[in-house]
A and B are shown apart, each in its own frame.
Chain A
Amino acid sequence: MEVRVQNVRKEFDRFPALHDVSLDIRSGELIALLGPSGSGKTTLLRLIAGLEMPTAGRIFFGDTDASEKTVQERNIGFVFQHYALFRHMTILENISFGLKVRPRATRPPAGEIRRRALELLDLVQLAGLEKRYPNQLSGGQRQRVALARALAIEPAVLLLDEPFGALDAQVRRELRKWLREIHDRTGHTTVFVTHDQEEALELSDRLCVMSQGRIEQVGTPDDVYDHPTSPFVFGFIGESSELPVTVQNNEVWLGGRPLGLPAGDSQPGKARLFFRPHDVELVQADAALTGAVNTARRVGGTRRVELTISGANQPVEVDLPFDHPATENAALTFRPRRWKLFPAA
């Protein structure tokens, strides 16, 4: 089911949580709402679910206007960060809850409910645990049950609020892969909220980056990573280094020296230069960035070096091969391979 969010605004006690947000979610895609805390991503998810009502704007499920519909009428599957499993019910009872509370006319027979619940338990790889209670399961298992419970009602849209937020790193990576598999198998339109950019980049078909109640950028992971459209997105997605520069004669200058970087169609004047620490090359040239090594740390397969750049008063980070002999105060000359200029605010 495709979901259209149209000019939605949400205020809590006159404090705006979302300003005029519009977003088209395609049928069958897995889309991530990514942003720091307070960016409005969870509010947007809860608005789609019908757990909150918008102050203004509309939300469409397919062609029908869902804005006025209650959460029950929207037929969504919602997975909570802290699972929200019913602790007094067994796993099987938890999964069949959504079918059991249906009015008699649309409720499947008891045997059918049980069969479907067991099938879902199998899908989330927890077959055999149907008689257990939630507190007898690990966090990862509980979240799988929560997903099975949400899928049981055959939802039009699957909504997940920081589904892996309460789990440890190892389980998180496993579940990420597993969620992707489930999505590919069941084909539900899925929206999930996360503050973990790695999770969003790895898992989603498209991601929607949010900040301070606004959507900053929507695109595929590659698109957002390679072509960020705002300083916020550049800084938030992936590692980034920033330098205050000036654009003059179609070139980028720092401290009265050209850096050997063409400015393209950027306007002359003060600007902010962004690049990825791992996307730099060491060069032998005058027109380049030079800096003295402050600290050098071995991070996995690379050596992360913090440099004081001549002409700038803020340090930047670059990644070098781990066997590079970067010692303290050693001078390095480099250029970013790819970079992006934004006008200074």
Chain B
Amino acid sequence: MTGSILFDAIVFLLGAIICVSVAKKLGLSSVLGYLMAGVLIGPYVLGFIGEEGEDILHFAEFGVVVMLFLIGLEIEPRNFWNMRKTIAGMGGLQVAGTLLITYFFFYAIGFDWKVSLVVAMAVALSSTAIAMQTIKEKGLMETTFGTSAFSILLFQDIIVIFMLGALPLLSNSETEVVAGTHETSGNLLDSLPLGYQTLAIILSVVLIIVAGRYLIVPMLRKVAQTGVRELLIASALLIVFSISFLMEYVGLSPALGAFLGGVVLSNSEYKHELESTLEPFKNLLLGLFFIAVGASINFVVIAKIPFTIGGILISVILIKALVLWITARVFSLKLDQKLLLTFSLAQIGEFAFVLLSFAFQLNILDQEQMDIMLVITALTMTLTPIISIINERFILPKIGTKESIKRPMDHIAKSQNVILVGFGHFGSTVGRFLRSHGIEATILDQDSNRVDFLRKMGFEVYYGDATRIDLLESAGIAQAKILICAIDNPGVTKEVTKLVKEKYPHVELMIRAKNRYDAYELLNMGIENIYRESLDTSLALAKDVLSKLGFRKYTLNRQVQNFIKYDESSLRRLASEPKQDENYIFKARKELEEQEKLLNADFERGVVAYDNHWDSEQIRKALDKSNPNSTS
């Protein structure tokens, strides 16, 4: 069944589409959907794909590289520097702890010390692909849990270089020839003495930074000038490919290099273009990767020794979870954040595939040991998302910050039919003002510390993700009159808006928008009540500036009101204009063009002549004209 590429593609795509939609319908993460698709179309259930699954796995690992590049794009160098302690501290503790315990565990159950060490290395690493995909999907990147998870994963990306470097030392001398022919070891570093190796690593990092600044940005500028969209896609891919190639050549992890490249480019004006260009590639490749993982689960091995596999599987997850728990404890995370971290990183990561097969080629592992470990790796990847769901649905609501709490009936909050999503700086002001009028909005928020605090203050607060319809339902969306969306993530805002508009069209939506562009999209989704956070405050400031320059305040007040009206109508007009470039491919440039359009319109409007109210000049002139003798 493996003859044609087209057929394979159809199988993969169909499997993904069906399984991921089902997973999403059930409120599960898309990762799980892909994994299930893999199992389904894999050699042991439907048998659509067979041995080539592993090649696909290697190919799809590139998705992880692209993902790290994208993550790097979102982290500015300064923030990255600020995270250095968390990365080294949490990451170091997690890797060292897991490595040690796993080593002794495997040694104790009768594996050779070399095998135990290799397996321990593999187990110490978690899956960036699964964890980051899930974290981003849930919009938890900004939480303590999100940054902790990310720090640990980043540390693992760094440490894996040393692990790969150490593996040949464990092998028997006569197999070194074999090792030399393997692609991952056939790199520059092996042929260099230790001091030069370090130098090469430092040089390549510097090269990425310098090239990012002085080569890539000018190149993108030239490409953008041509205005040919696919050239930009080509450039984005070229950047990632080149970095990966360079990294593999000197023997570093391509993912790490891509991450660095992303960080370097995060300050450039092409950040948005690169993001929107690579996003679909990343998603597809990661999807493919997860499918391949699902398909690689070898059910024959499981059937042969189910208890051994089961035992090792549970032990591995328990060890990883335990170490993560301790790490979280050392860095004093809150209970629910601790649980999230523990379960989200408890799987063995994609690097294990690389490590294990490399070790197999070095004759450290035999076929059976490798098969067992590969199965266990794939199984942990499949199991941890499920455990995470159990954690979120059943454990988290019970301990720490509950999704909701029952409150005594006599409280004033006899549901005022207003739901307020997001209680940050923006939402809290809204909520306080409503409360000062005796209107108790039902609040939804993602930050557990805040939720606890608000509950102490007597608010009715639900904890969790507002894009989950069941949470909205338990917050009373069916009876609600108004839903206020005050979160600062435009993506989540749009998702919530769409969801509510579709399922509960009677609810009036009042939406915070970051800027004009979000407002356009919301307007085009049919939302009428849009509040741009950048409009009123900036005008209040401008008004005060003019006042300090001698303009009269009441006049300014009226002019501001005029300006808002004028700007709102131009917003609506521009929103209805068809966008030539629907993907906002040249977003930064588009924004500039639009600014130019606005400024030109302002220019035509001129220095706004004040209307004639309370101004007798016009009357005096008219009277003089009609009655030239009546000079008083």
B is a partner of A: no
* A residues lining the B interface (CB < 8 Å): none
